[in-house]
Amino acid sequence: MFDAIKKQIPNLFTLGNLCCGVIAIILISDSQFERATWFILLATVLDFFDGFMARLFKVSGELGKQLDSLSDLVTFGVAPAFMLYVFGIHYNLGYEKFAFLLLAVFSSYRLAKFNIDTRQSTSFIGVPTPITGVMVASWAFIRISHPAVFESIFTNGIYFVLFCAIISLLLVSEIPLPALKLKKGPLKDYWQQLMLLGFSILAVLLFQWLSIPIIYCFYVLSSVIINFATNKKK
């Protein structure tokens, strides 16, 4: 009896992630962007703990893996994409606002690809969907704290389309990226993660919510540079 319950504990966290995503979509439809973002951030915490609980109770399996991807698609793919669409409506974009579909489509493709890609067991190939979703959701607060920066992207149809296209293509790119979780081993093996952590703390102190897109860019660009330098030495 206890073993059966224990197997479902990680799934409860995963379903909590899904519920947060659904609530976020409802809030976005009512233009409550900031509240929606808090639910997406809460989902990120639940998304971390479902994996943690699965490892703790040693109950990882195919069902949990598929359920996690389906929940991530709703919370970090569909909800942020819908937020982009509503931003487009609010700022009177034309057909350009339908570029939001790119994020939903490529998030779905990435999550399906991730489930069958054996190369991504210890690191990532392409930007993870949760990281992209949180970055997009953070613009709900940037809209208030840095309106000029927000409007430079979300009131210009060309920039809006480019923004949607770039973050969507990065989801399915072949860029190797370090996993953000620290496991057992010497700290020197995690120097990229520690560098990112130090940069993130500094960015948050200096830029508050705007730090999230800045950290996102640093995460991607630093990985590209490091991989280019490493391959050049070989």
What are the pLDDT digits (tens) for 123-153? Answer: 789 999 999 999 999 999 999 999 999 999 9
CA distance linking residue 135 with residue 4, whole number of Å: 37
CB-based contacts of 119, cutoff 8 Å, min separation 6? 125
Contact (Cβ atoms closer than 8 angstroms) between residue 17 and residue 46: yes
From the list 143, 135, 134, 129, the residue with the least C-alpha distance to 32 is 143
In the predicted structure, residue 52 carries a pLDDT above the cut 60: yes
Band (pLDDT 50/70/90 cuts) for residue 9 is: confident
In the predicted structure, residue 62 carries a pLDDT above the cut 80: no
CA distance linking residue 100 with residue 161, whole number of Å: 8
Domains and CATH numbers, the chain: 2-179 (1.20.120.1760)
Q: What is the mean pLDDT of the chain?
A: 89
Beta bridge partners of 124: 177
Highest mean pLDDT among 120-124, 169-173, 192-196: 169-173
Contact (Cβ atoms closer than 8 angstroms) between residue 10 and residue 50: yes
From the list 194, 72, 66, 217, the residue with the least C-alpha distance to 135 is 217
pTM to 2 decimals? 0.91
| Predicted confidence (pLDDT) per residue in 14-46, tens digit | 999 999 999 999 999 999 999 999 999 999 999
Q: Determine which of 72-81, 90-99, 135-144, 174-183 has the lowest per-residue pLDDT on average.
A: 174-183
Which residue's entry shows tokens 């520690």? 194
Band (pLDDT 50/70/90 cuts) for residue 190 is: confident
Contact (Cβ atoms closer than 8 angstroms) between residue 183 and residue 152: no
